[in-house]
Chain A
Amino acid sequence: MAISQDLLDILACPKCKGDVHMNPNGDGLVCESCRLLYPIKDDIPIMLIDEAIKL
């Protein structure tokens, strides 16, 4: 089950609380301000700062 739009609508960057958007290849959510990628594994968005990947 892919990430639904209504779930995406309620997610924000845990670090700056700003908007996030799906990465073009669908493997994570990107915060442009923080330059962080929050991975999506098994359709679960992992909104943990420690798990985020620096872009």
Chain B
Amino acid sequence: MKALVTGAAGFIGSHLAERLLQDGYEVCGVDKFLENYPRQWKEQNLSGLLRHPRFRFIESDLVQLSLPELIDGVVYVFHLAAQPGVRASWGKEFDRYTHNNLLATQKLLEACKGRRIQKFVFASSSSVYGDTTDLPMREDGVTCPVSPYGMTKLAGEHLCYLYWKAFEVPVVSLRFFTVYGPRQRPDMGFHIFMRALLRDEELPLYDDGEQTRDFTFYSDIVGGTLAAAQYPGFGEIFNLGGGCRTTLNEMLQTLETISGRKLRIKKLPRQAGDVRHTEAELGRARDRLGFNPHVGLAEGLRQEWEWLGSCLK
């Protein structure tokens, strides 16, 4: 069976592609190597995949790529490619977000019209919920993103739903909650903190540290994503969270313990677009997908710490 993974050189995409290959799929990966972080990290993500005989890779922009031939024979489309990052989505950078998050998604959905794919899985984000105080966040609850990035992800979900209703493209949207683990992007929190620790630098901490996140280990995200592909329903949305909502201050204490190093914190003001809390209601994902996050925060942080330590030697 064939699968298409967009964003295959990225953090989650590369792990997903590996899991699909382990499960016996032929995988075609596409990535345009966005300049949001250095290319070498993404090349490293891909290095094992490129040696696999059932993996093919194309460097391209989904908006430019001729998609019909790419989708021919594909059973599952996993659309993880996106311009990520909440804080960078303001101002003149917004063009990149509309191109890579909206236009690319629309082009891919268009190409899937009338094709015999079994599922189009769209990677959305907890950012769609914004600063809601109605916790835990439910899929049928209020969505009110407070960043342009979050808005493009919510718009992407709506695009998927439209193509399901109008053209029966078999979509499912997944709201990923702060994913972490080996290969986490260098612009994401744990990677930044750990890199600062390894280099004996100050850790930048925005806001007061009492903000919370429902951190989710990458392997739980990959498991949930595969379950969503195989789920018999269409047009639905699921939260994929780690089940371990934690304050950043608590997380930093755990990091001190794991690293055996004392943190030096540089306090910075809260950034525009940052939400105060996230917490995923997982009842729907548990009931319908059999989703069950396995990896706790301490273990997940330990794995990421060991990975980053080996990368930066």
Chain A hits for B70, CB < 8 A: 10
Chain A 1-55 interface residues, beta-carbon cutoff 8 Å to B: 1, 4, 6-7, 9-15, 17, 42-49
Given A1-B50, A10-B72, A43-B50, A48:B59 Cβ within 8 A: yes
When A and B form their complex, what is the total count of cross-chain residue pairs whose Cβ atoms lie within 8 Å?
48
Instruction: Specify which chain A residues have a CB less than 8 angstroms from the CB of B50 in the assembled complex.
Output: 1, 42-44
Check if B56 sits within 8 Å of A14, measured CB to CB. no
Query: B59-81 CB contact bits vs A (8 Å, 1 = yes)?
Result: 11100111001101000000000
Decide if B199 is an interface residue (CB 8 Å cutoff): no
Q: How many residues of B contact A (CB 8 A)?
A: 17
Q: Which residue of B lies closest to A46 (CB)?
A: B59
User: Is B92 in contact with chain A by the CB < 8 A criterion?
Assistant: no
Question: Which listed residue (A15, A17, A45) contacts B58, Cβ 8 A?
Answer: A45
**Cα of A45 to Cα of B57 in the assembled complex, Å:** 8
Complex Cα gap A6–B69 (Å):
11
Q: Which residues of B sit under 8 angstroms from A47, Cβ to Cβ?
A: 58-60, 64-65
* B19: chain A residues within 8 A (beta carbon): none
CA distance A46 to B32 in the complex (A): 9
| A1-B58 CB under 8 A given contacts A10-B69, A12-B66, A47-B64 | no
Complex Cα–Cα for A6 and B299 (A): 41
The residue on A at minimum CB distance from B59 is: A46
Contact B51 A1 (CB under 8 A): yes
Residue of chain B at shortest CB distance from A15: B64
- Partner pick for A48 among B32, B53, B56, B72, CB 8 A cutoff: B32
Interface centre among B28, B59, B61, B72 (most CB of A within 10 A): B59
Q: Give the shortest distance, in Å, between A11 (CB) and chain B (any CB).
A: 7
Q: Is the CB of A48 within 8 A of B66?
A: no
Residues of B within 8 A of A15 (CB): 64
Is the CB–CB distance between B56 and A11 below 8 Å? no
- State whether B56 touches A7 (Cβ < 8 A): yes
B248 to chain A, nearest CB (A): 38
Asked if A14 and B65 sit within 8 Å, CB to CB, the answer is: yes
**Residues of chain B with a CB closer than 8 A to A9's CB:** 69
Q: Which residue of A lies closest to B29 (CB)?
A: A44
Chain A min CB distance to B5 (Å): 15
Report whether B61 and A48 are in contact in the complex, using a CB–CB cutoff of 8 Å. Answer: yes
Q: In the complex the two chains form, is B64's CB within 8 Å of A11's CB?
A: no
**In the bound complex, how far is the Cα of B294 from the Cα of A50, in angstroms?**
43
A44 to B29, CA, bound (A): 11
Given A11-B58, A43-B50, A49:B64 Cβ within 8 A: yes
Where the two chains meet, the residues of A that have a C-beta atom closer than 8 Å to any C-beta of B are 1, 4, 6-7, 9-15, 17, 42-49
Can you list 27 contacts pairing A with B, beta carbon distance less than 8 Å? A1-B51, A1-B53, A4-B56, A7-B58, A9-B69, A10-B28, A10-B69, A10-B72, A11-B69, A12-B66, A13-B66, A14-B61, A14-B65, A14-B66, A15-B64, A17-B66, A42-B50, A44-B50, A44-B57, A45-B58, A46-B59, A47-B64, A48-B59, A48-B60, A48-B61, A48-B64, A49-B64
Besides A47-B65, A48-B32, 4 more A-B contacts (Cβ < 8 Å) are A7-B58, A10-B28, A46-B59, A48-B61
